[in-house]
Amino acid sequence: MRIQAEQLSFRYEDGRQAIQDISLDIPSGTLTVLCGVNGSGKSTLLRLLAGLAQPTSGRILHGDGKKADHRAAEAVSMVFQQPETQLFAGTVHKDIEYGLTQRGVPQAERTEIIASALRKTGLAYDEFAGRSPFLLSGGEKRRVCIAGALAAQPGLLILDEPTAGLDPQAAQSLLGLVQELRRSGLTLIIGTHDLDSFLPLADKVIVMKQGAVHYDGPAPALTADPVLLADAGLTAPAYASIGRRAVQLGLLEGVPGSLEELLAELEKHPLPVPEAASLPAGSCAPARVISPDGQSGLPREHSANYSDDGIQSQAVHASAVATSTVAASTAVPSAAVPSAVAASTAVPSAAPPSAEAETAHAATTPGAPQPGPPARRSGWQQLDPRVKWLGMILGSLVLLGMDALLPLLLTAGLLAGLAASARISWRRALRFFRPFLLMFLFLWLLSGLSWSSPDFAIGPLSFSYAGMLRGGISVLRFLLLIALGFLFTETTTGAPLREGLEWGIAPLRRLGIRTRNWSLAVSVTLQFVPWILGKLAQLQLALGSRGRRARGLARWSPRQIALLIVPLLILVLGMGDELATAVESRGYDPAKQRTPVYQLRWSKRDTLAALGILTVAALLWWTARIS
């Protein structure tokens, strides 16, 4: 399936422009590699091409040149970076079947299609169909995801970082699968950092830089010009760097298109190896011209190491060339590798990072953009966390005592004003509340049901105004409690939140209560919320990629939520497990004194804020009493 993009731009809810004016033409039956440093916009572009996000401007054309609509987007399957967020059913069979059900494939045909898709990915149906997808290895999960995508018989298959996290053997067999898919005529787009593996397979390479296309063309032209890749912050594949230098030295005629080609060329042309004296200390290359079989002319100890493996002997040639001559050429791109590439090697932390941790990480990561003068902290961040805890606790108590509409509406206005002053965008707030809204709407309608004294009816259901008002008040009260927690966690990062709480409950230590456990649990739980919401969004996207492209409120239908609950629970439990192990491995001991990571400091501003909170809480409580 051919796919074209015309002047595509995309802006995230927070206003970040991720894609800027991109035009592309990807011919049918080709394999396109999409690369770029972290944050260059690859995943965003892939999601747009898959129809999982709508461009802010521009358009995508599928196949026959018609604008990509809902139906056309169903001809596209996408496999995400993290397979664990893409699997959600109880068995591998059911997981793959989901996409088929969405596409209306008759039940009788499904098993055959599932077995065939699994076979294509190298998994036997009998062995894997009945297993839980959550209990497979990383490589097997990735294969099941690809099988699910293939079962939908897409015209275009998009793979985002397919080899990330796979061991060399699993990555190699995945490459074999990709080659087979390409031979079968499927159009493939692969977002990847693994240029060594994927450039040799590519019919076309698109290099992204800061949300725009930096290069669009064949792989050989890209690898032949070191500046093109270096400008985008990327390092050329090793085979291309070595080959290019060998060409410059007149040792090879052209830059090889893959490691295999390089090795084959080296087999044909034995290379002179520099004298040992001219090699850097510690180099182990032999001192004479060696032949491709690795035997003639080699000192005894070298031939013992390499003679039984032609490839290894060529590795000696290659490494000798690389060490002695190519060093200069490889130095160019590697020196130009920007911080983002260095940053990409950082292992993501298991726990959701706090703002302080992120800042510290950015400041200490080699190559990370150096921070300028410390940004002025907003008024909300400067407040002592104890003030915010006071506001949170008093606010919750007052809210729980409200059972009239007027004080609840007053509180809603107050919280909206506070959120605006904390510069929390309404889009972000909406994203946070979306999962709750449908549930609360349902509860509200449920509380309005009345068979004894109905005021109106919708179909067979009768409702009373009094019941709706009572239910509305309860629902609003709950929503405001959640809003209060949201405001609190949005304006307070982990360390201050925890220190403030620990200070408050410290007196309980005298009663033998392990307050450190409590504060750790509360702070981790509160910080889990944004993490869970992020995972929920990823799961929604995965459902969308399997044919169920629900939009708006339909994304939160009971059926959709039911599908998300199990994988979300598994992710949360997995995360909890990792977090517990991490805490344990750091030698956490609730009985020990801890060095505080955040110093509590009470200032005049905090006294004023605390007085303000007490006054407002008293006024709201009084309004609630008289309403």
Stretch that binds ligand ATP, among 25-33, 36-44, 253-261, 356-364 (CB under 6 A): 36-44
Supply φ then ψ for residue 212, to 5 degrees. Answer: -125, 165
As a whole number of angstroms, the distance between CA 379 and CA 116 comes to: 60
Is 427 a binder of ligand ATP (CB under 6 A)? no
> C-beta of 14: minimal distance to ligand ATP in Å?
5
As a whole number of angstroms, the distance between CA 300 and CA 277 comes to: 19
As a whole number of angstroms, the distance between CA 269 and CA 580 comes to: 56
2 Cβ partners below 8 Å, 6+ apart?
25, 26, 27, 28, 62, 63, 187
> C-beta of 210: minimal distance to ligand ATP in Å?
9
The closest alpha carbon to 54, from 71, 40, 68, belongs to 68
At residue 330's C-alpha, the angle toward residues 325 and 331, to 5°, is: 100
41 or 385: CB nearest ligand ATP: 41
> C-beta of 551: minimal distance to ligand ATP in Å?
17
> C-beta of 39: minimal distance to ligand ATP in Å?
4
> C-beta of 540: minimal distance to ligand ATP in Å?
12
Write the binding mask 286 to 325 for ligand ATP: x where contact by CB under 6 A, - elsewhere. ----------------------------------------
**How far separated are the first and last CA of the chain, in Å rounded?**
65
Is 192 a binder of ligand ATP (CB under 6 A)? no
Per CB under 6 A, the list member of 3, 31, 36, 501 interacting with ligand ATP is 36
Which residues between 11 and 30 bind ligand ATP (CB under 6 A)? Answer: 12, 14, 16, 18
86 or 121: CB nearest ligand ATP: 86
341 or 610: CB nearest ligand ATP: 341
Stretch that binds ligand ATP, among 10-18, 298-306, 493-501, 554-562 (CB under 6 A): 10-18
Q: Is 168 helix (H, G, I), strand (E, B) or coil?
A: helix
Is 256 a binder of ligand ATP (CB under 6 A)? no
Is 177 a binder of ligand ATP (CB under 6 A)? no
The closest alpha carbon to 547, from 98, 113, 106, 136, belongs to 98
16 or 269: CB nearest ligand ATP: 16
**What is the C-alpha radius of gyration for the chain, rounded to an integer number of angstroms?**
30
Q: How far is CA 474 from CA 16, 240, 432, 486, in A?
A: 37, 66, 20, 18
Write the binding mask 39 to 78 for ligand ATP: x where contact by CB under 6 A, - elsewhere. xxxxxx----------------------------------
Is 38 a binder of ligand ATP (CB under 6 A)? yes
Is 183 a binder of ligand ATP (CB under 6 A)? no
Are the beta carbons of 224 and 281 closer than 8 angstroms?
Answer: no
53 or 240: CB nearest ligand ATP: 53
Are the beta carbons of 290 and 317 closer than 8 angstroms?
Answer: yes
> C-beta of 529: minimal distance to ligand ATP in Å?
16
161 or 499: CB nearest ligand ATP: 161
Residue 109 CB coordination number (10 Å): 10
The closest alpha carbon to 185, from 145, 155, 208, belongs to 155
Residue count at the site for ligand ATP (CB under 6 A)? 12
> C-beta of 40: minimal distance to ligand ATP in Å?
4
> C-beta of 198: minimal distance to ligand ATP in Å?
14
> C-beta of 508: minimal distance to ligand ATP in Å?
40
12 or 456: CB nearest ligand ATP: 12
> C-beta of 340: minimal distance to ligand ATP in Å?
8
Q: b/e per residue, 292-320, with b = 16+ CB within 10 A?
A: bebeeebeeebbebbbeeeeebbbbbbbb
Q: How far is CA 564 from CA 464, 495, 543, in A?
A: 34, 31, 9
As a whole number of angstroms, the distance between CA 32 and CA 201 comes to: 9
The closest alpha carbon to 86, from 533, 528, 535, 434, belongs to 535
> C-beta of 485: minimal distance to ligand ATP in Å?
22
40 or 493: CB nearest ligand ATP: 40
Are the beta carbons of 161 and 193 closer than 8 angstroms?
Answer: yes
164 or 247: CB nearest ligand ATP: 164
38 or 319: CB nearest ligand ATP: 38
Is 549 a binder of ligand ATP (CB under 6 A)? no
39 or 352: CB nearest ligand ATP: 39
Stretch that binds ligand ATP, among 9-17, 21-29, 547-555, 616-624 (CB under 6 A): 9-17
604 Cβ partners below 8 Å, 6+ apart?
none
Q: How far is CA 178 from CA 30, 140, 150, 201, in A?
A: 11, 15, 12, 9
38 or 474: CB nearest ligand ATP: 38
DSSP code of 347? Answer: P
Residue ranges binding ligand ATP (CB under 6 A): 12, 14, 16, 18, 36, 38-44
